C-alpha cells in the first residue's frame, strides 16, 4: 500500500509556551501546542493530521481500555546553537514501533507518515526545543486500539498519535536499585521485547515495594531463575568490572534499546571492551566484594545515562564507590555531544529536520 496523502495542518491559535517554566519541568506533564494524529480504518491508515494538542473522545468500549492493545516509542529532538533541529537515529524508533505493533497484532505505520509527522510537528513547535546540551523535546509516538467492541481480539481501528513534552537539562543523581528476586517483568515467548503498554503497568507495584525500601528502581532478572540480570524499568543496563563493560544480550524479554546499541558502538570506537552476554547476579556480587565492580549504569532515551550508586540482593546491600574516570559519564557526554551537533557524527546517527 502506498501512503502519499498530504498532511493536513490545523494550527493552534494561541501558544501555551509563555506559561511554561523551562527551568523547572517535571518529566512528561507539559505538552507542546500541537499533536499529530492518524487513524487506521477500513484496512488502511487514513489522511494524517496535525492539530492543536487536545483531549480526544473515546467510546468506553474502545479496546485499548480493556485489552491493552497499545504500543509506544520514546525519542527526543535536540537543537544546536544555530537553531538547527536534530533527531537521533529515528529510523530505529520507526522500526521498533512496527516490531512492537506486529507482536500485538496491530498494523505497521508507514515510514513516510512517521517522518512527515515528526518533522512538521517539530517545525511548528520549534520554539519548544531549547538549545543547550541536555535540553530536549521528548517525543512520544503511540498507537492505540480504538474499536468500540469488547471481544478479546485485535481491533479494526487504531489511532497513531505523537505528542511532545519539553524535557529539562538535568543532572541525574545516582539511583539505588533492588535486584528482582520474586517479581518479573516478562516471560520467554512474551512481549518484553516490545514497547507494549502493559509491560510498564506490570512493573509499578514491584517498583513501589522497592521504593518503600529506599530504592528508586528494580533491576529485572529472568523470570525462570532470577539468576540473570536483564534491564531496568525504562533502561538497559551496563556493568563495568575493572575496565571491561558487560551488558545482557537482546532476547524476547528485553527491549532492544537505541541508547544501549549506541553505547556498544561508542565503546568499540574507544577501544573499551564490551561483552554482550548473560550476566549472573552472583558474578556481579563477587566482583563487588572484590572491589572490581567499578560502575553500574542504566541507559535510555529519557535519562541518557543514569549511574547506579548501590544495589541490594537477598538483603545484602552493595555500595558502589564514586569513580573518577567514569565510563558512564564519558558515554553520556559523547552521546549528548553527538545529539546536539557539538561533535563529529561518524556513524550518521544525527538526522537533521529541515
**Which of ligand PLP, a copy of itself, none has residue 276 at its interface (CB below 5 to 8 Å by kind)?**
none
Among 234, 247, 339, 341, binds ligand PLP (CB under 6 A): 234
Grid coordinates standing for 80? 544546536
Which helix (H) or strand (E) is 207 found in, with range? helix 197-212
**Which of ligand PLP, a copy of itself, none has residue 8 at its interface (CB below 5 to 8 Å by kind)?**
none
User: Residue 130, Cβ neighbours under 10 Å: how many?
Assistant: 18
Query: Looking at 83-91, 182-190, 290-298, 324-332, which segment touches a copy of itself (CB under 8 A)?
Result: 182-190
3-state class (DSSP) for residue 90: helix
- Residue span 320-339 as binding mask against ligand PLP, x where in contact by CB under 6 A, dash where not: --------------------
Query: Looking at 47-55, 242-250, 251-259, 275-283, which segment touches ligand PLP (CB under 6 A)?
Result: 251-259
**Which of ligand PLP, a copy of itself, none has residue 244 at its interface (CB below 5 to 8 Å by kind)?**
none
Query: Looking at 80-88, 174-182, 257-265, 307-315, which segment touches ligand PLP (CB under 6 A)?
Result: 257-265
Among 114, 142, 160, 311, binds a copy of itself (CB under 8 A): 142
Q: Which residues pair with 139 in a beta bridge?
A: 75, 164
Query: Is 98 near ligand PLP (CB under 6 A)?
Result: no
Q: Which residues contact 308 (CB under 8 A, 6 or more apart)?
A: 174, 175, 176, 177, 237, 295, 296, 297, 298, 320
What is the torsion angle, in degrees rounded to the nearest 10, for the CA atoms of residue 160, residue 164, residue 165 and residue 169? 120
Which helix (H) or strand (E) is 94 found in, with range? helix 90-103
Query: Is 344 near a copy of itself (CB under 8 A)?
Result: no
Residues in the chain: 354
Query: Looking at 76-84, 90-98, 114-122, 202-210, which segment touches a copy of itself (CB under 8 A)?
Result: 202-210
Task: Check: CB of residue 22 under 8 Å from CB of residue 130.
Answer: yes
Among 48, 68, 117, 257, binds ligand PLP (CB under 6 A): 257
DSSP 314-329: TTEEEE----SS-HHH
Query: Is 236 near a copy of itself (CB under 8 A)?
Result: no
**Which of a copy of itself, ligand PLP, none has residue 223 at its interface (CB below 5 to 8 Å by kind)?**
a copy of itself
CA 306, chain centre distance (Å): 13
Task: Check: CB of residue 256 under 8 Å from CB of residue 287.
Answer: no
DSSP state letter for 7: P
Q: Binding residues for ligand PLP, per CB under 6 A?
A: 74, 195, 231, 234-236, 255, 257-260, 300-301
Q: Binding residues for a copy of itself, per CB under 8 A?
A: 26-29, 31, 35, 53-61, 64-70, 72, 102-105, 140, 142, 144-145, 148-154, 161, 163, 165, 180, 182-191, 196-205, 207-208, 223-224, 226, 233-234
Amino acid at each position: 500500500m502506498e501512503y502519499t496523502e498530504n498532511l493536513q495542518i490545523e494550527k493552534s491559535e494561541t501558544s501555551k509556551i509563555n506559561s511554561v517554566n523551562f527551568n523547572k519541568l517535571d518529566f512528561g506533564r507539559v505538552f507542546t501546542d500541537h499533536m499529530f494524529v492518524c487513524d487506521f480504518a477500513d484496512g488502511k491508515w487514513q489522511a494524517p493530521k496535525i492539530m492543536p494538542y487536545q483531549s480526544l473522545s473515546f467510546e468506553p468500549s474502545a479496546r485499548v481500555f480493556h485489552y491493552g492493545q497499545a504500543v509506544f516509542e520514546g525519542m527526543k529532538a535536540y537543537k544546536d546553537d544555530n537553531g538547527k533541529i536534530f533527531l537521533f537515529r529515528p529510523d530505529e524508533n520507526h522500526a521498533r514501533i512496527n516490531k512492537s505493533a506486529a507482536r500485538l497484532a496491530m498494523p505497521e505505520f508507514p515510514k513516510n507518515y512517521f517522518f512527515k509527522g515528526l518533522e512538521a510537528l517539530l517545525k511548528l513547535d520549534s520554539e519548544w526545543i531549547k538549545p543547550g546540551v541536555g535540553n530536549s523535546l521528548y517525543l512520544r509516538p503511540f498507537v492505540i486500539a480504538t474499536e468500540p467492541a469488547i471481544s478479546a481480539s485485535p481491533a479494526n481501528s487504531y489511532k497513531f498519535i505523537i505528542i511532545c513534552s519539553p524535557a529539562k537539562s538535568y543532572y541525574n543523581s545516582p539511583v539505588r536499585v533492588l535486584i528482582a528476586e520474586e517479581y518479573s517483568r516478562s516471560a520467554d515467548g512474551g512481549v518484553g521485547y516490545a514497547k507494549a503498554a502493559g509491560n510498564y503497568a506490570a512493573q509499578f507495584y514491584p517498583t513501589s515495594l522497592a521504593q518503600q525500601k529506599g530504592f528508586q528502581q528494580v533491576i529485572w532478572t529472568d523470570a525462570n531463575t532470577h539468576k540473570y540480570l536483564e534491564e531496568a524499568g525504562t533502561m538497559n543496563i551496563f556493568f563495568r568490572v575493572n575496565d571491561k563493560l558487560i551488558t545482557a544480550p537482546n532476547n524476547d524479554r528485553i527491549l532492544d534499546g537505541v541508547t544501549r546499541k549506541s553505547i556498544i558502538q561508542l565503546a568499540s570506537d574507544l577501544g573499551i571492551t564490551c561483552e554482550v552476554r548473560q550476566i549472573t547476579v552472583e558474578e556481579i556480587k563477587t566482583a563487588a566484594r572484590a572491589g572490581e565492580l567499578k560502575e553500574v549504569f542504566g541507559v535510555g532515551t529519557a535519562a541518557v545515562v543514569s549511574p547506579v550508586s548501590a544495589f541490594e540482593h537477598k538483603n545484602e546491600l552493595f555500595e558502589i564507590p564514586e569513580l573518577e574516570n567514569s565510563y558512564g559519564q564519558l558515554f553520556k557526554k559523547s552521546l549528548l555531544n553527538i545529539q546536539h551537533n557539538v561533535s563529529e557524527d561518524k556513524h550518521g546517527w544525527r538526522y537533521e529536520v529541515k
